[in-house]
Amino acid sequence: MKFPTIVAVVLLAGPALAGDCNKAATQFDMNECADKAYQATDKVLNEVYKKVVAAQEGDSAKLKAAQRAWIGFRDAQCSFETADSEGGSIQPMEYSICLTKLTKARTAELNAYLACQKDAAKC
């Protein structure tokens, strides 16, 4: 991995490595903390997703297909973004940071959709 990429990853990791992650002493600890940040973000996404499914009033097949496709995109995109560090000890942290970033974006998209369902003027 190139040095500027490492610096960028560390700078972008700030939000994902907040709180106890700042005290992580080893790469293993940083990897674990970044994964926990992703897991928390994914939990929020799943809660919002369930609300959107419920708002579909039983016709959620297209939403489910879109979500499955998004998951495939997310995983492929994060594999692409972390290809330079594949096999290295930093790769799990980079991958988790990417997952967190894309999951937050998807959660925002779904929240915007919910807002539109409640008030079309917000769209």
Name the pLDDT band for 118 (thresholds 50, 70, 90): confident
Q: Each residue of 62-99: pLDDT tens digit? A: 999 999 999 999 999 999 999 999 999 999 999 999 99
Percent of the chain beyond pLDDT 70?
Answer: 83
Q: Which token pair is 22?
A: 């700042």
Q: What is the pTM of this model?
A: 0.80
Straight-line distance from the first to the last Cα atom of the chain, in angstroms, rounded to the nearest whole number = 42
The predicted structure's pLDDT at residue 47:
98
